Amino acid sequence: MSENIARVYTNTSRRANRQQSIDRKLVYKSVLGNPFHIDWPTISPGLQKRILIQLTTLFDGVAAHYQLAGNARKKLPMLLTSAPPIIPHLTVGINKVTKALETEVRLGRQTVITTNRAPDMAPVLTRVIFICYEDLDTPAIVAHLPQLVALCNAARPDDCKIKVVQLPAGAQTSLVDALGFLKRISVMALDNLAPGLIQLEPLLTTVPDPPASWLASTGEVALEPSHVKQLLTTAPKDMKAAKERRAQGRAAAKERNRINT
């Protein structure tokens, strides 16, 4: 948990120049939190490292394949081997993973009838999402993923829920080296038909699902408890004088508009 008792914003206000001449004081304002906010699943550092080690073993040969493919494009005398079977089951990138989840949510709201698929053919679904959370400069760019995963899981049975795994610091470098075709990896996903996924399943079963009580189909109606945050900001020391100054400013602006029109 952060040591700060309140979130501090340091962005410069557009009205900062006008407020510099006003004596101000630090105050705390109560802000009602979003009741639909979903926290990241809590995973122990040891489990994160074991998952990362097992994950990188699934990518054996991927970096070499892309290196040979690059050499072939450069017309070097090298034979291009067949692609590792894990590649078609891999989705890399925040946008691609987000699109896959949004597509599943959208299709879950529609009635789809398929007649040309074999009865024993399993549908391809996202099984696990890995996030290099500790290596991100701006974690807010992945803040939407727990909500999307919770929406997808609400329409799935208990035995095929999507797992969200935060990887330890330095995981981005390990995955970049293992894949060999990207300079940076923030988010990646594997589907339920990925070869070697069964090796990860014993570790994934201990990963909790993103909590979303309002999506649980238990039949019981329960109100989400209020989440009140304390926002550290500033306010004029003399509120009466500040209100009078704002009123004078509005009157002057109205008079200028009247004259201009």
Structural contact between residues 23 and 238, judged by C-beta atoms closer than 8 angstroms: yes
Q: What residues of the chain score a pLDDT lower than 50?
A: 1-2, 77-78, 113, 119
**pLDDT tens track for 220-255:** 666 777 788 888 888 888 888 888 888 998 999 988
DSSP-assigned letters across all residues of 35-86: TT--PPPP--HHHHHHHHHHHHHTTTTHHHHHHHHHHHHTT-S-PPPPPPTT
pTM above 0.75, yes or no: no
Q: What is the pLDDT of residue 1?
A: 43
CA gap 144, 147 in Å, rounded: 6
- Tokens for 49? 């490292």
Angle at 125 between CA 99 and CA 186, to 5 degrees: 50
- Tokens for 124? 């391809």
Q: What is the pLDDT of residue 89?
A: 93
